[in-house]
């Protein structure tokens, strides 16, 4: 990979002494962050790796023993694990679909001339600023509740039977709640990207007789592709770890119907006190996230060079 | 710019955009309205929208029943504490990387970012055990430490992208005039860097205020910030809609206001400078 700022700045070419002085000072200034993050990365992760090889339950202290890969085989053959992997992917893909499609549409809309654009922007951004526990509880109680929720009232108004969202479609309900929180993020980033599209280019295309649809496909979409990639990758990192929304709405249930990998590991660790099993699950989660991170890092690495 | 759009089309766009905007915002508006209702009005069917007897008793009730102010202060201390501590550590690093880059600077930056990719659940078990053994469970100190660490890469990255926009010539001029390193930082860099630092501060307070993995797992009654306190309403108590709404409104209002002021920085910070 090409290093973007390998060319030394003029600043440092003048005085060799000053450069040397600055270099060591610079190292000293970077050191605290590097050491802290290094510790934060290595120590707990090494511990997780070590625990994952032990039979270790907090309810039976002093009984720890080496267990090889037992925890992994236990975790990987647990039916709940496959359900959790499925749910994790369903949440990631479901939310991504809603937010990218919806966000693109909303960004295109907000880019049009209108009255009170600033206020609409503020309204649309708001859900992203709401803490996850509040968002999830407001949706759960005041909207999705089958007796007192607003959706139940709307259903009755239309002569339909109220639907118990969180009992009958727990995963879908969680996807909707999380999508509501992340839609503003996608919209905001795509709108920012859209606003950097050259106005003259759009006009030239229009004069050449390109219709709205072909302008969108051949001009706008290619321009947005980078921003869309950024949205997808960053959201994926966060969506793999959805936790609070599940904790306060369904608690992973009914059964394990809405348990994702993060929640499964949490339950294994802090509800069943199975340190070994939870650690194995944690390592699996780390591996999954690394696959995604690999692509994200390459994306952002490229933008550094630009 | 020849955007000659007819007023008619502009009106239609306006109506559509406002409708969608209000729909997206509605759950928050509804929470706000419900917080001023009585419990009976909160679950009334058909629902009452504006014409009810506005009351502030829910706010008083939430405070007297569960010492709301304590949790609010926990949120303030944890989010501001972790942000300030993070800035203290990050400013020198970002400064050094922006103005004295070496061949490895980019790798260091990318590596720092990669720590952010680690799913929290991968280190939940050891963090819980370390916290338990060191007596940090359910303390604000513990939460400040963890939130500082998880947000440090974002702080460094944001500061770095801002610092890089400061022209190096100005520092050079200061150095020519014989300014020492410390003077250079205090009198030259800091004033120019303040907008960037302020944006970073704002974004990070928002992130820390809303963080809901570590705060939920590492705090209980004593140090619980609002994220964890509100989660206690997932019990049957959550059926008291008006009180849930009052507690929620107070928890989200400060951040909504902060966030609306820093929309642009939000994009930049959350995409690590990839989209500006």
Residue B209 in this model has a pLDDT that exceeds 70: yes
How distant is the Cα of A130 from the closest Cα of chain B, in angstroms? 6
Which residue, among A126, A123, A156, A152, has the nearest Cα to A140 in the 3D structure?
A: A152
| B79-116 per-position pLDDT tens digit | 999 999 999 999 999 988 988 888 888 888 888 888 88
Q: Which of B5, B106, B156 comes nearest A304 by C-beta?
A: B106
CB atoms within 10 A of CB B44: 14
Of A60-64, A178-182, B14-18, the least confident? A60-64
Provide, as residue numbers in chain B, all residues whose Cβ is less than 8 Å from the Cβ of A272. none
CB within 8 A of A116, min separation 6: which ones?
A: B14, B18
The arithmetic mean of pLDDT across residues B252-265, rounded, is 85
Instruction: State whether residue B155 is helix, strand or coil.
Output: helix
B220 touching A (Cβ < 8 Å): no
CB within 8 A of B76, min separation 6: which ones?
A: none
Provide, as residue numbers in chain B, all residues whose Cβ is less than 8 Å from the Cβ of A134. 31, 230, 248, 251-252
Which residue, among A266, A296, A177, has the nearest Cα to B213 in the 3D structure?
A: A266
Residue A13 in this model has a pLDDT that exceeds 60: no
| A154-205 per-position pLDDT tens digit | 998 898 888 888 889 999 999 999 999 999 999 998 998 888 877 777 777 7
Residue A5 in this model has a pLDDT that exceeds 60: no
B3 touching A (Cβ < 8 Å): yes
What is the interface size between A and B, counted as CB pairs within 8 Å? 333
Residue B74 in this model has a pLDDT that exceeds 90: yes
Residue B2 in this model has a pLDDT that exceeds 50: no
- Which residue pairs from B59-62 have beta carbons closer than 8 angstroms and sit at least 24 positions apart in sequence? B59/B35, B59/B246, B59/B250, B61/B243, B61/B246, B62/B243, B62/B246, B62/B247, B62/B250
Phi, psi of A66 (to 5 degrees): -65, 135
pLDDT of residue B145: 95
| B234-249 per-position pLDDT tens digit | 877 667 889 999 999 9
Could B125 and A240 be called an inter-chain contact, meaning their C-beta atoms sit closer than 8 Å? no
Q: Which helix (H) or strand (E) holds B54?
A: none
pLDDT of residue B182: 78
Per domain, the residue ranges of chain B are 7-59, 66-270
Task: Return the bridge partners of A99, or none.
Answer: none
Nearest CA in chain A to B218: A270
Q: How confident is the model at residue B16 (pLDDT cuts 50, 70, 90)?
A: very high
- Percent of chain A at pLDDT > 90 equals 40
Q: How confident is the model at residue B213 (pLDDT cuts 50, 70, 90)?
A: very high
CB atoms within 10 A of CB B19: 11
pLDDT of residue B238: 61
Of A232-236, B7-11, B238-242, the least confident? B238-242
Residue A306 in this model has a pLDDT that exceeds 60: no
Query: Counting every residue, how long is chain B?
Result: 276
pLDDT of residue A7: 41
The arithmetic mean of pLDDT across residues B28-33, rounded, is 94
Provide, as residue numbers in chain A, all residues whose Cβ is less than 8 Å from the Cβ of B218. none
CB atoms within 10 A of CB A42: 11
Could A30 and B252 be called an inter-chain contact, meaning their C-beta atoms sit closer than 8 Å? no
CATH top-level class for A70-305? mainly alpha
Distance of CA A55 to the CA centre of its chain: 32
Q: Chain-wide mean pLDDT for chain B?
A: 86
Residue A39 CA neighbour count, 13 Å, CB half: 10
Nearest CA in chain A to B206: A129
CB within 8 A of B229, min separation 6: which ones?
A: B66, B68, B71, B247, B251
Q: How far apart are CA A241 and CA B93, in angstroms?
A: 29
- Percent of chain A at pLDDT > 70 equals 91
Rg, C-alpha atoms of chain A: 25
B19 touching A (Cβ < 8 Å): no
Q: Are A107 and A187 in contact (CB under 8 A)?
A: yes
Phi, psi of B233 (to 5 degrees): -80, 0
What DSSP string runs through chain A? ---TT-SPPGGGTS-HHHHHHHHHHHHHHHHHHHHHHHHHHHHHHHHHHHHTTEE-BTTSTT--EE-TTHHHHHHHH-HHHHHHHHHHHHHHHHHHHHHHHHHHHHHHHHTS--TTHHHHHHHHHGGGGS-HHHHHHIIIIIIS-TTTSHHHHHHHHTTPPP--HHHHSHHHHHHHHHHHHHHHHHHHHHHHHHHTS-HHHHHHHHHTT--HHHHIIIIIHHHHHHHHHHHHHHHHHHHTT--HHHHHHTTT-STTTT--HHHHHHIIIIIS-BHHHHHHHHHHHHHHHHHHHHHHHHHHHHHHH-
- Percent of chain B at pLDDT > 70 equals 95
Provide, as residue numbers in chain A, all residues whose Cβ is less than 8 Å from the Cβ of B156. 33
B255 touching A (Cβ < 8 Å): yes
Could B117 and A289 be called an inter-chain contact, meaning their C-beta atoms sit closer than 8 Å? yes
The arithmetic mean of pLDDT across residues A8-20, rounded, is 48
pLDDT of residue A303: 60
Per domain, the residue ranges of chain A are 1-51, 70-305
Q: For chain B, where are the alpha helices, taking DSSP H only?
A: 7-34, 39-42, 57-66, 68-99, 105-116, 124-133, 140-163, 168-176, 181-183, 190-210, 214-218, 226-231, 241-261, 263-270
How distant is the Cα of B254 from the closest Cα of chain A, in angstroms? 10
| A131-140 per-position pLDDT tens digit | 999 999 999 9
Chosen from B2, B3, B8, B17 to mutate, greatest number of chain A CBs within 10 A: B17
Provide, as residue numbers in chain B, all residues whose Cβ is less than 8 Å from the Cβ of A193. 275
Provide, as residue numbers in chain B, all residues whose Cβ is less than 8 Å from the Cβ of A157. 46
Q: Which residue has the higher pLDDT, A198 or A32?
A: A32
Q: Which of A12, A251, A286 comes nearest B118 by C-beta?
A: A286
The arithmetic mean of pLDDT across residues B64-68, rounded, is 85
- Which residue pairs from B68-71 have beta carbons closer than 8 angstroms and sit at least 24 positions apart in sequence? B68/B229, B68/B247, B68/B250, B71/B224, B71/B225, B71/B226, B71/B228, B71/B229
pLDDT of residue A300: 67
Could B45 and A270 be called an inter-chain contact, meaning their C-beta atoms sit closer than 8 Å? no
Q: How confident is the model at residue A16 (pLDDT cuts 50, 70, 90)?
A: very low
Provide, as residue numbers in chain A, all residues whose Cβ is less than 8 Å from the Cβ of B266. 125, 128, 188
Instruction: Tell me which residues of chain B, numbers 88 to 117, contact chain A at a CB-CB cutoff of 8 Å.
Output: 89-90, 92-93, 95-97, 99-103, 105-106, 108-117
ipTM attached to this prediction: 0.88
How distant is the Cα of B146 from the closest Cα of chain A, in angstroms? 9
Q: Which of A47, A140, A290 comes nearest B126 by C-beta?
A: A47
| A106-133 per-position pLDDT tens digit | 999 999 889 988 899 999 999 999 999 9
Q: Which residue has the higher pLDDT, A260 or A8?
A: A260
Q: Which residue has the higher pLDDT, A134 or B38?
A: A134
Q: Which of A44, A156, A286 comes nearest B127 by C-beta?
A: A44
Q: Which residue has the higher pLDDT, A57 or B85?
A: B85
Could B234 and A249 be called an inter-chain contact, meaning their C-beta atoms sit closer than 8 Å? yes
Which residue, among B93, B80, B205, has the nearest Cα to B144 in the 3D structure?
A: B80
pLDDT of residue A226: 81
B97-118 burial, b at 16+ Cβ within 10 Å, e below that, comes to: bbbbbbeebbebbbbbbbbbbb
Fold that domain B66-270 belongs to in CATH: MetI-like fold (1.10.3720)
């Amino acid at each position: 990979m090409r290093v973007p700022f390998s060319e030394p700045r003029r600043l440092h070419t003048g005085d060799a002494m000053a450069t040397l002085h600055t270099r060591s000072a610079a190292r000293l200034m970077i050191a605290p962050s590097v050491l802290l993050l290094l510790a934060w990365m290595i120590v707990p992760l090494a511990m997780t790796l070590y625990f994952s090889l032990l039979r270790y339950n907090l309810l039976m202290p002093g009984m720890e023993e080496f267990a090889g890969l037992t925890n992994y085989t236990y975790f990987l053959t647990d039916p709940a694990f496959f359900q959790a992997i499925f749910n994790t992917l369903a949440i990631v893909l479901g939310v991504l679909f809603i937010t990218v499609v919806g966000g693109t549409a909303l960004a295109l809309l907000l880019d049009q001339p209108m009255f009170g654009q600033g206020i609409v922007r503020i309204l649309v951004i708001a859900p992203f600023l709401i803490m996850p526990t509040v968002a999830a509880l407001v949706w759960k109680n005041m909207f999705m509740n089958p007796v007192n929720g607003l959706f139940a009232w709307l259903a009755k108004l239309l002569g339909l039977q109220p639907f118990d969202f969180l009992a009958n479609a727990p995963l879908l309900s969680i996807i909707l709640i999380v999508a509501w929180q992340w839609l503003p993020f996608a919209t905001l980033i795509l709108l920012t990207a859209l606003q950097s599209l050259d106005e003259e280019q759009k006009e030239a295309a229009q004069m050449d007789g390109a219709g709205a649809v072909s302008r969108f496909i051949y001009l706008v979409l290619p321009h947005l592709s980078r921003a869309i990639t950024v949205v997808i990758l960053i959201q994926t990192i966060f969506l793999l770890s959805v936790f609070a929304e599940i904790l306060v709405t369904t608690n992973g249930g009914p059964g394990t119907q809405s348990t994702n990998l993060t929640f499964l590991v949490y339950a294994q660790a802090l509800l069943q006190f199975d340190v070994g099993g939870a650690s194995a699950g944690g390592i699996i989660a780390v591996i999954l996230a690394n696959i995604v991170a690999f692509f994200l890092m390459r994306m952002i690495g490229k933008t550094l060079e630009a | 710019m020849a955007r000659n759009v007819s007023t008619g089309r502009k009106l239609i766009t306006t109506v559509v955009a406002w409708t969608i905007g209000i729909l997206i915002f509605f759950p928050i508006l509804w929470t706000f309205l419900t917080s001023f209702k009585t419990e009976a009005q909160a679950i009334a069917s058909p629902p009452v929208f504006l014409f009810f007897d506005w009351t502030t008793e829910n706010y008083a009730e939430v405070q007297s029943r569960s010492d709301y102010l304590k949790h609010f202060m926990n949120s303030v201390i944890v989010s501001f504490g972790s942000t300030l501590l993070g800035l203290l550590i990050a400013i020198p690093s970002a400064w050094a990387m922006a103005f004295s880059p070496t061949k490895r600077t980019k790798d260091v930056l990318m590596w720092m970012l990669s720590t952010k990719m680690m799913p929290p659940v991968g280190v939940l078990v050891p963090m819980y055990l370390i916290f338990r053994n060191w007596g940090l469970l359910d303390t604000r100190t513990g939460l400040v430490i963890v939130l500082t660490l998880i947000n440090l890469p974002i702080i460094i990255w944001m500061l770095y992208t801002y610092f890089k926009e400061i022209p190096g010539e100005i520092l050079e001029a200061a150095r020519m005039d014989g300014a020492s390193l410390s003077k250079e930082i205090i009198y030259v860099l800091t004033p120019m860097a303040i907008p960037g630092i302020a944006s970073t501060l704002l974004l990070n307070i928002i992130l820390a205020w809303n963080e809901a993995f570590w705060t939920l797992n590492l705090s209980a009654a004593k140090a619980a910030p609002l994220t964890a306190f509100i989660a206690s309403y997932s019990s049957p108590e959550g059926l008291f809609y008006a009180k849930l709404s009052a507690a929620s409104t107070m928890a989200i209002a400060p951040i909504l206001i902060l966030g609306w002021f820093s929309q642009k920085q939000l994009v930049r910070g959350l995409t690590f400078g990839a989209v500006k």
